[in-house]
Amino acid sequence: MKNDFIISINGLSTGRSRFEWRADGEFFGRFEESEILDADLDVTVSVEKSGRYIGVDCEIDGTVTVACDRCLEDLVMPVHTTSLMSVKFGDAGQQSEASEGEREIIMLPEDDTDLDLSQIVYDYTALSLPMQRIHPEGECNPDAIRHLCLEEPDESEKPEAGNNPFAGLKSILENKR
């Protein structure tokens, strides 16, 4: 696994630092059960260090490819999301509040020297996607839509009575009426 998305906390100088990475399909493939099939994302992180305060501002911008909920074909969706975080050191159980103003709190053990943002980039990207992911009207695969709508097939596409394994079941149901 690459060391992308890792910021060395001990190596940060006081002031602002900027990091830039690309997240692609390989990155999202590292996460089990990921619905994101491919991606072309720019991840820009600005870190401000002042004494023990560490502020992390993350911006994710680009596109991801997911399966359309209606036709299951690839669907390219735009992504633009930001996250504002504050890094605090100590036991995760010490902090009772999950946020500090507009900022989310990330708790790191005192001896941690690296901040891995991979999970955060994945989570914020996935959360930025709408619940229903479908092509605009008329852009879904017409074959899939025809099957979903249960349209009657053309006469040329109808199976012959002898080849239809359900023809016998249909006659049983009709006889019981």
To the nearest whole number, what is the mean pLDDT of the chain? Answer: 85
d(CA 108, CA 100): 16
Instruction: Supply 96's token pair.
Output: 């009772």
- State the pLDDT at residue 53: 87
CA-atom Rg of the chain in angstroms: 25
- State the pLDDT at residue 96: 46
**pLDDT 10s digits, 120-151:** 999 999 999 999 999 998 899 888 888 877 54
HEC profile of 30-55: CCCCCCCCEEEEEEEEEEEEECCEEE
d(CA 149, CA 142): 10
Instruction: Supply 81's token pair.
Output: 């999301």
Instruction: Supply 71's token pair.
Output: 């036709």
pTM score, whole prediction: 0.75
